[in-house]
């Protein structure tokens, strides 16, 4: 089972292989604030105001672009919901890969460093 630190040190790789249920459970333990929601993982981040919310989205933009693994982002005044999944797995039907957990750990690290 990878740790949060191990996930943040990894880089996303092109993949067509979805994680097994056991693999998902193991990776979820490394990012405990994230929840399994259907075929994706999601987390809601809370902020004091709209400026902080936008600053967070801008702060994670470089990392998710560098990893080439882009989440769905729902942005409101003081809240941001991030959802990761991998469209290329399960013969294009989508699901979860290690890339989702790598990016989740990296987004968490940015939040912890700058916004908590």
Q: Residue 69's pLDDT is what?
A: 95
With 0.85 as the threshold, say if the pTM is over it.
yes
Q: Residue 1's pLDDT is what?
A: 76
Q: Is the pLDDT of residue 92 over 80?
A: no
Q: Are residues 105 and 75 in contact, defined by beta-carbon separation less than 8 angstroms?
A: no
The two structure tokens encoding residue 77: 């005044």
Q: What is the pLDDT of residues 4-40, one digit of tens each?
A: 999 999 999 999 889 999 999 999 999 999 999 989 9
- Percentage of the chain beyond pLDDT 70 is 99
Phi then psi for residue 40, to 5 deg, are -140, 170
Q: Does domain 4-114 have CATH number 3.30.1360.20?
A: yes
Sorted by where each begins, the domain ranges of the chain are 4-114
């Amino acid at each position: 089972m990878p740790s949060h630190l191990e996930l943040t040190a990894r880089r996303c790789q092109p993949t067509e292989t979805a994680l097994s249920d056991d693999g998902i459970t193991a990776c979820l333990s490394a990012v405990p604030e994230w929840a399994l929601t259907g075929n994706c993982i999601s987390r809601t981040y809370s902020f004091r105001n709209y400026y902080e919310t936008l600053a967070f989205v801008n702060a994670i933009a470089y990392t998710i672009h560098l990893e080439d693994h882009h989440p769905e982002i729902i942005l409101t005044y003081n809240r941001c919901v991030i959802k990761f999944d991998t469209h290329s797995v399960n013969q294009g039907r989508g699901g979860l890969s290690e890339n989702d957990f790598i990016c989740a750990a990296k987004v968490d690290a940015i939040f912890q460093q700058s916004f908590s």
